[in-house]
């Protein structure tokens, strides 16, 4: 998602603000009559004046907040910093300073990080009404995701707009056209692709296309899947989209949580955490659903094509007008050490956007810095009680993980297409499994790349593999 368009207060005024309808949708008793156009004792009623009130009502709201030390108004004050013009932001900053005793100026990014670090700060009752009004006046489609009394397992005050339209701003690819790899001329050998192989069906989904679409719903080898790619946290995750008797299809909502995309299913419009594969806002929240992850590899087109000459590849004819040249639209972001949207970070172990390869196995999490695979490496390790072997190359960003079967492995040659037992047996590295000299197979494990900040925030900083 891009910071290409962040509307001002005056833009919002031109959107036909409809805070009253948000209240009506909540079926609050007060909304059956005209909303009072004055300061009351209700934080919810007063909150609308932060963004949607006249200058006088705006100032009165800030005075009321400051006089009563209303910490529950802090989340609304912070979100207003993002959209108000400078003269009104200065008044909000003064109120935040008096109420919280913190001094972050009008730096919305820093205030959001501080809020994330202090979960004891709770918004007023009805904050969902306020947030629905704010997002709904950016795009009415956001009211399908955030609405009064919506179920949620995450803090609504940490959800932010990603700068695109609801649902359609980043359009998903649904069962897109594929072409034989032998006919592809638009890819250079060093370009990155997501490589997928299921039941002998081998496909490459190039980064240069996925950067624009971020979600792909497809059927590979008879298996319904979604490739959920969060450009902001550098993670492409392949999900099995079947659960019980349901098959989910996903899109990008246009909303973010801790700089991670919130995807949504087209059946219920519930928001899902892209990193965990769990619904976190909406009717499916607390349903116990967690999508199964499937093996996926990032690698270069040259390596993938050499290893899989029969591969199919996404066609450039996607049905959308996009600049599919490499590096569009996130080239600058990938080169920068900075985040585009607020998220807590911990640089004590790794820099926030350093890449790691992570495995999640039966509740046991482990991540390895991609730099540990420099010049091609074979790493023997353990995740929980399971022994694993990882075969990776930092230059091509490709890492594959397998059960180790009780063996210790080491490099064999330089291509990493084969590895060797310590006693000399040579194993073939394939997408489904490691295949031993006697035909024994060690199962591939699902893993993926991610920026360190995302892995640390969602799966824990204590899971990082320490270099030997």
Is the pLDDT at 48 greater than 80? The verdict is yes
pLDDT at 33: 46
Lowest-confidence segment of 50-54, 69-73, 247-251, 402-406 by average pLDDT: 50-54
Quick: pLDDT tens for 368-380.
999 999 999 999 9
Question: Mean pLDDT in the chain?
Answer: 91
State mean pLDDT over 164-191: 96
Residue 271 CA, chain-centre distance (Å), reads 11
Strands 441-445, 398-403: pairing kind: antiparallel
Nearest Cα residue to 171 out of 275, 234, 241, 250: 250
Q: Is the pLDDT of residue 7 over 80?
A: no
Instruction: Give the burial class of 381: count Cβ atoms within 10 A of its Cβ; 0-12 exposed, 13-18 middle, 19 or more buried.
Output: middle
What is the predicted pLDDT for the residue at 415? 87
SS (H, E, C) the chain: CCCCCCCCHHHHHCCCCCHHHHHHHHCCHHHHCCCCCCCCCCHHHHHHHHHHCCHHHHHHHHHHHHHCCCHHHHHHHHHHHHHCCHHHHHHHHHHHHHHHCCCCCCCHHHHHHHHHCCCCCCCCCCHHHHHHHHHHHHCHHHHHCCCCCCCECCCHHHEEECCCCCCCCCCCEECCCEEEHHHCCCCCCCCEEEEEEECCEEEEEEHHHHHHHCEEEEEECCEEEEEEEECCCCEEEEEECEECCEECCEEEEEEEECCEEEEEECCCCCEEECCCCEEEECCCCCCCCCCEEECCEEEEHHHHHHHCCCCEEECCCCCCCCCCCCCCCCHHHHHCCCCCCCCCCCCCCCCCCCEEEEEEECCEEEEEEHHHHCCCEEEEEEECCEEEEEEEECCCCEEEEEECCCCCEEECCCCCCEEEECCCCEEEECCCEEECCCCCEEEEECEEEEEHHHHHHHHCHHHECCCC
**pLDDT for 361 beyond 90:** no
Is the per-residue pLDDT at 297 higher than 90? yes
Question: Could you tell me the pLDDT band of residue 460, with boundaries at 50, 70 and 90?
Answer: confident
| Token digits of residue 186 | 């638009």
Task: Give the mean pLDDT of 69-76.
Answer: 98
Q: How much of the chain exceeds pLDDT 70, in percent?
A: 92
pLDDT of residue 10: 32
Look at 466 and 338; give whichever has higher pLDDT.
338
* Residue 25 banded pLDDT, cuts 50, 70, 90: very low
409-438: pLDDT as tens digits:
999 988 899 999 988 899 999 999 999 999
Least confident of 31-45, 69-83, 136-150: 31-45
pTM for this model (two decimals): 0.92
103-125 pLDDT, tens digit each? 999 999 999 999 999 999 999 99
pLDDT category of residue 468 using cuts at 50, 70 and 90: low
Mean pLDDT over residues 44-64, rounded?
93
Is residue 98's pLDDT more than 50?
yes
Q: Which two tokens stand for residue 236?
A: 């492409």
Q: In whole angstroms, what is the distance from residue 223 CA to residue 403 CA? A: 23
Q: Give the pLDDT band of residue 22 (cuts 50, 70, 90).
A: very low
Q: Residues of the chain with pLDDT > 90: what percent?
A: 82
pLDDT digits (tens, 9 = 90+) for 309-329: 999 999 999 999 999 999 888
Could you give the C-alpha distances from 203 to 155, 307, 375, in angstroms and in order? 37, 12, 26
Query: Is residue 29's pLDDT more than 70?
Result: no
Which residue is it, tokens 């679409």? 213
């Amino acid at each position: 998602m891009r910071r290409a368009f962040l509307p001002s207060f005056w833009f919002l005024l031109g959107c036909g603000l409809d805070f009253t309808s948000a209240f009506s949708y909540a079926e609050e008793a007060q909304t059956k009559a005209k909303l009072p156009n004055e300061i009351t004792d209700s934080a919810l009623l007063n909150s609308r004046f932060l963004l949607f009130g006249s200058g006088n009502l705006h100032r009165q709201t800030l005075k009321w907040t400051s006089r009563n030390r209303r910490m529950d108004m802090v989340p609304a004050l912070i979100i207003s910093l993002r959209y108000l013009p400078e003269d009104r932001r200065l008044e909000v900053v003064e109120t935040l300073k008096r109420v919280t005793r913190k001094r972050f100026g009008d730096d919305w990014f820093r205030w959001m990080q501080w809020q994330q670090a202090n979960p004891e700060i709770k918004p007023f009752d009805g904050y969902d009404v306020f947030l629905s009004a704010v997002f709904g006046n950016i795009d009415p489609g956001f009211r399908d995701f955030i609405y009064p009394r919506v179920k949620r397992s995450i803090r609504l005050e940490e959800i932010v707009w990603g700068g695109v339209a609801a649902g359609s701003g980043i359009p998903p690819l649904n069962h897109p056209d594929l072409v034989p790899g032998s006919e592809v001329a638009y890819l250079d050998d060093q370009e990155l692709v997501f490589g997928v192989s299921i039941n002998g069906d081998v496909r490459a989904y190039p980064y240069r296309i996925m950067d624009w679409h971020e979600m792909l719903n497809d059927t590979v080898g008879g298996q319904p899947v979604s490739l959920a790619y969060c450009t902001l946290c550098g993670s492409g995750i392949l999900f099995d989209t079947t659960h019980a008797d349901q098959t989910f299809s996903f899109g990008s909502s246009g909303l973010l949580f801790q700089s991670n995309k919130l995807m949504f299913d087209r059946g219920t419009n519930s928001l899902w955490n892209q990193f965990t594969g769990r619904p976190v806002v909406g009717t499916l929240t607390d349903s116990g659903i967690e999508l199964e992850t499937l093996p996926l590899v990032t690698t270069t087109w040259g390596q993938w094509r050499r290893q899989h000459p029969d591969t199919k590849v996404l066609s450039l004819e996607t049905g959308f007008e996009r600049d599919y040249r490499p590096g569009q639209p996130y080239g600058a972001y990938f080169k920068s050490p900075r985040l585009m949207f607020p998220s807590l970070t911990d640089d004590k172990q790794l820099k926030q956007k350093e890449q790691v390869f992570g495995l999640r196995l039966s509740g046991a999490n482990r991540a390895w810095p991609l730099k540990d695979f420099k010049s091609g490496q074979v790493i023997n390790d353990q995740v929980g009680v399971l022994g694993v072997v990882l075969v990776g190359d930092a230059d091509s960003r490709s890492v594959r993980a397998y059960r180790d079967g009780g063996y210790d492995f080491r490099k064999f040659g330089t291509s990493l297409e084969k590895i060797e037992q310590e006693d000399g047996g040579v194993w073939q590295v394939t997408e489904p499994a490691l295949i031993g000299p006697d035909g024994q197979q060690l199962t591939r494990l699902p893993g993926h790349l991610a920026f360190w900040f995302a892995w640390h925030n969602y799966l824990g900083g204590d899971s990082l593999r320490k270099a030997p």
